[in-house]
């Protein structure tokens, strides 16, 4: 995982919730993690990762995700087994190789 994706994951799980996370960065991170992202109805996207599924809503009047979307994304990632510590340790192991 690149430093960019690790930092993005940190900002998603950071408290207080950041108000400066862009949808394209979320989409890039999910794709990098191996998620399938399919367009659903309207601004909804069906996301699957590690047997977890959710619908995420693209921000309507901005490309910046609101706090509720980030909360939903946190819950989804946690349910899919994704955490900052697991990916930092995985990144460290790949750096040592």
pLDDT tens-digit readout, 73-97: 999 999 999 988 876 666 566 656 5
| 49 contacts 80 by C-beta, under 8 angstroms | yes
Residue 42: the pLDDT is: 84
Which among 75, 41, 67, 69 is positioned nearest to 56, based on CA atoms? 69
Residue 5: the pLDDT is: 87
pLDDT tens-digit readout, 20-68: 899 999 999 999 999 999 999 888 999 999 999 999 998 888 899 999 9
């Amino acid at each position: 995982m690149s430093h960019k994706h690790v930092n993005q994951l940190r900002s998603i799980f950071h408290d207080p919730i950041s108000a400066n996370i862009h949808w394209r960065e979320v989409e890039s991170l999910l794709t990098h993690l191996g998620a399938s992202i399919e367009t659903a109805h309207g601004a909804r996207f069906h996301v699957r990762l590690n047997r977890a599924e959710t619908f995420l809503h693209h921000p309507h009047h901005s490309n910046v995700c609101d706090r509720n979307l980030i909360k939903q994304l946190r819950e989804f990632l946690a349910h899919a087994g994704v955490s900052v510590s697991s990916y930092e340790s995985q990144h460290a192991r790949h750096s040592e190789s």
